[in-house]
Amino acid sequence: MRGFTNLAKEIRDTVRTKAKEISVFRETGNGAIRILGYPLCAEADEWLGGLSDFSGPAPDIVDYEFVFPVSPGGSRVINVVENGHKATVDCYGYSALKIADCSLAQDLSIGLVSGLDFLRANRTEEYGYAAHRGALCVVVKKVKCGTVNGEPSVEYDDYCGVYVCVSGAKSDEDYACALEAIQTIKDFFLEAGGMWAFEYEEPEEGLE
């Protein structure tokens, strides 16, 4: 299978194509695309980079990340106006906060996207979470077919999580761009051969 860097570039290019439909991205080219690979087994970690340790009683798991500007040569910093005052937002950092919010929803078995409507103490930017749309996760699973007591059986082994976040436009516009990555991720693994399954949040009507 081709490396994680290949997948990251394909996701980047897919998101950039969609971002051209968003006026603020088209006009400025500024914002961030963050792509994070999270291994769920030793095999996936070797594919991602081999820095984790799954040998002990408590796995020491590494996040593998790439962050790109929304457009080639663009800045990851955007200009905003709040209460009549101009300010700058670093989408490099903010995209990480949205992925943290997505991961929190995942840990609570609520969903696989950021910005969902649920209450949680300290779910604020001060504590490392941005509860806004724009980040999602695709959980990749290896499918194994066999037999149990002579009957066909199918097992789904967790392989890795691929998180994608777009930051720099309105939340729903960021999310619409990130959604484009789902099919790219699925195609990448299916083209590599073997049998794969994918868990992700179905997009809401009107956002695709």
Q: What is the pLDDT of residues 172-189, one digit of tens each?
A: 999 999 999 999 999 999
Residues 17, 11: Cα–Cα separation, whole Å: 10
Residues 141, 189: Cα–Cα separation, whole Å: 10
Per-residue pLDDT in tens (0 to 9) along the chain, 208 residues: 999 999 999 999 999 999 999 999 999 999 999 999 999 999 999 999 999 999 988 899 999 999 999 999 999 999 888 778 888 999 999 999 999 999 999 999 999 999 999 999 999 999 999 999 999 999 999 998 876 666 777 889 999 999 999 999 999 999 999 999 999 999 999 999 989 999 999 887 544 3
Q: From residue 45, how far is each of 8, 9, 86, 199, 200 by CA, in Å?
A: 15, 19, 43, 19, 20
pLDDT in tens, 156-170: 999 999 999 999 999
Residues 134, 180: Cα–Cα separation, whole Å: 11
Residues 76, 124: Cα–Cα separation, whole Å: 21
Instruction: Please state the pTM of the whole predicted model.
Output: 0.93
- Reduced to 3 states, what is the DSSP secondary structure of residue 50? coil
In this prediction, residue 130 carries a pLDDT of 97
Residues 19, 68: Cα–Cα separation, whole Å: 13
Task: Name the residue among 147, 110, 105 with its Cα closest to residue 129.
Answer: 105
